[in-house]
Chains A and B, each alone.
Chain A
């Protein structure tokens, strides 16, 4: 019996990791292909402000993180489509603005406890039983919504204008995608942390793209890369006493480097 499984926190962490590892590339593929990679990073910073609010109000920080990212994602999408602000400027505003808010809130509370560091870089010990429930149910919601709108999302990602002409409600589906991204970002925080979250959504997808396969096969490869990185990362960090989030991201980067090498033809 593996030593890891003697600890219930480790099992919770592993389960949460698997759920996140499964969802992140599903959302990530649509973000990467639409040149939205940075939105994950922006929403992660927004969620840090959400976490700070949670600490301050003594509410589960995942819930406040979800609320703040979902709200901001809708506002970012509005700003982008209104064309009053360039898309990437909207991201920059939210990225720096929410970080500023987080820092101010943290200083207001005179620095919080060590828990905050875990939210920044991720640690399987932060996953509580209620977190697992939240991650599990919202994770299921993300998968179901993605499955229902899969073909519309593929079409819009490939060619938004033609999708619109064919009668697909592009605005609704764009908003849906960005809200799902916000949910995924908030859910992934306990495992990989605020600062490393976009890696899990982006790196497995970019790795899978190197193989130049069909859309469905690309998702499948990205899933393999992601789940492999999460599982080996959690084991390695547990036995070698390393940061969980950092280890997961470094392993996925290693796989990415191998895929680049394989493509050298």
Chain B
């Protein structure tokens, strides 16, 4: 599917961020367009998560601006257009008393607004999202009883239930076994191609991501961008990381 590069969804311009005196991000520019499948990669501590938190309005940049669907992030209200899959599996409370259905229902809550409860239409959308990630049969199971890969699919379903236009995924493979990771990449590809969802995928596993995404944003304090990830070869990685030991080797079928 050719990516429509005419419509900007997120515009990051001249963003810098410092924790105390430590400059984490320096003059970062990044445009994400409708239908993009962007891999945001870089070494741990390189500022990926900070960049994402700034994009989502969870942190304010020291300098620069972020515009979401053309609106400055501080004035942005239409959060139901954004889906978010957090780095959840590894710090997940397995004793939390919630069924898969209850977890996915949370994806509707932002859209519903305060004081309202789930309608029949909401329930239909929740079930539909569960089918999309092939977890419908598990809807009455307790979330903590599922495997890491299954839990992560439930979190995708929760994001889908909000019917967003763009989904942010923060290191979604953490705690997911290799076989489940392959299924997970298939699912993301399907969402990107068939539902034309824009995906922003944060990962430190560069080699795996390079094979999947349509564009790459490499973050290590500053940002370099490539809309042909296959060109993003070993030489670039070594140059950018400066040190081989940061590269995570990963076999991906």
Contact surface of A with B, Cβ cutoff 8 Å: 33, 148-149, 151-152, 154-155, 158-159, 161-168, 208-209, 212-218
| Interface core residue of B106, B112, B140 (most chain A CB under 10 Å) | B106
**CB < 8 Å: which of B84, B95, B118, B158 contacts A209?**
B95
A149 to B117, CA, bound (A): 10
Given A148-B115, A165-B82, CB of A215 within 8 Å of CB of B106? no
- Residues of B44-61 whose CB lies within 8 A of A: 56-58
Contact, CB under 8 Å: B98 / A215: yes
Nearest CB in chain A to that of B170: its residue: A161
- Inter-chain contacts of B144 with A (CB < 8 A): 212
A218 to B98, CA, bound (A): 9
Nearest CB in chain A to that of B168: its residue: A165
- Inter-chain contacts of A163 with B (CB < 8 A): 106, 109-110
Assess whether B142 is interfacial by the CB under 8 Å rule. Answer: yes
Nearest CB in chain B to that of A150: its residue: B117
- Residues of B24-64 whose CB lies within 8 A of A: 56-58
Assess whether B97 is interfacial by the CB under 8 Å rule. Answer: yes
A218 to B162, CA, bound (A): 26
* Minimum C-beta distance from B221 to chain A (A): 24
Assess whether B70 is interfacial by the CB under 8 Å rule. Answer: no
A212 to B98, CA, bound (A): 8
Contact, CB under 8 Å: A33 / B56: no
- Inter-chain contacts of A168 with B (CB < 8 A): 109-110
* Minimum C-beta distance from A53 to chain B (A): 35
Some 14 contacts from A to B, beta carbons below 8 A apart, are A33-B97, A158-B103, A165-B57, A165-B82, A165-B168, A166-B79, A166-B82, A166-B107, A167-B77, A167-B79, A212-B144, A214-B142, A215-B97, A215-B98
A199 to B74, CA, bound (A): 42
- Residues of B196-234 whose CB lies within 8 A of A: none
- Inter-chain contacts of A214 with B (CB < 8 A): 97-99, 101-102, 140, 142
Nearest CB in chain A to that of B81: its residue: A167
- Inter-chain contacts of A165 with B (CB < 8 A): 56-58, 79, 82, 84, 168
Given A149-B114, A167-B77, CB of A162 within 8 Å of CB of B86? yes
Given A148-B115, A152-B114, A155-B109, CB of A161 within 8 Å of CB of B97? no
Assess whether B96 is interfacial by the CB under 8 Å rule. Answer: yes
Contact, CB under 8 Å: B80 / A166: yes
Contact, CB under 8 Å: B102 / A215: yes
Q: From DSSP, what is the main secondary structure of chain A's interface residues?
A: helix
**CB < 8 Å: which of A148, A162, A209, A215 contacts B114?**
A148
* Minimum C-beta distance from B167 to chain A (A): 11
| Interface core residue of B78, B84, B118 (most chain A CB under 10 Å) | B84
Contact, CB under 8 Å: B117 / A33: no
* Minimum C-beta distance from B125 to chain A (A): 14
A158 to B86, CA, bound (A): 12
Contact, CB under 8 Å: B106 / A154: yes
**CB < 8 Å: which of B84, B95, B105, B112 contacts A162?**
B84
Q: In the complex, how many residues of chain B place their beta carbon closer than 8 angstroms to a beta carbon of chain A? A: 38
- Inter-chain contacts of B236 with A (CB < 8 A): none
Contact surface of B with A, Cβ cutoff 8 Å: 56-58, 77-80, 82, 84, 86, 88, 93, 95-99, 101-103, 105-107, 109-112, 114-115, 117-118, 140, 142, 144-145, 158, 162, 168
- Inter-chain contacts of B142 with A (CB < 8 A): 212-214
- Inter-chain contacts of A218 with B (CB < 8 A): 97
A154 to B115, CA, bound (A): 13
Nearest CB in chain A to that of B53: its residue: A161
- Inter-chain contacts of A167 with B (CB < 8 A): 77-80, 110
A165-B79, A165-B82, A215-B97 are known; give 11 further A-B pairs, CB within 8 A: A33-B97, A152-B114, A159-B88, A165-B168, A166-B79, A166-B82, A166-B107, A168-B109, A209-B97, A214-B101, A214-B142
Contact, CB under 8 Å: A161 / B117: no
- Inter-chain contacts of B107 with A (CB < 8 A): 166
Nearest CB in chain B to that of A151: its residue: B109
**CB < 8 Å: which of A148, A155, A164, A212 contacts B97?**
A212
* Minimum C-beta distance from A111 to chain B (A): 45
A208 to B96, CA, bound (A): 11
* Minimum C-beta distance from A36 to chain B (A): 13
Contact, CB under 8 Å: A159 / B114: no
* Minimum C-beta distance from A17 to chain B (A): 26
Contact, CB under 8 Å: B106 / A155: yes
A163 to B58, CA, bound (A): 11
A216 to B144, CA, bound (A): 16
- Inter-chain contacts of A154 with B (CB < 8 A): 98, 102, 106
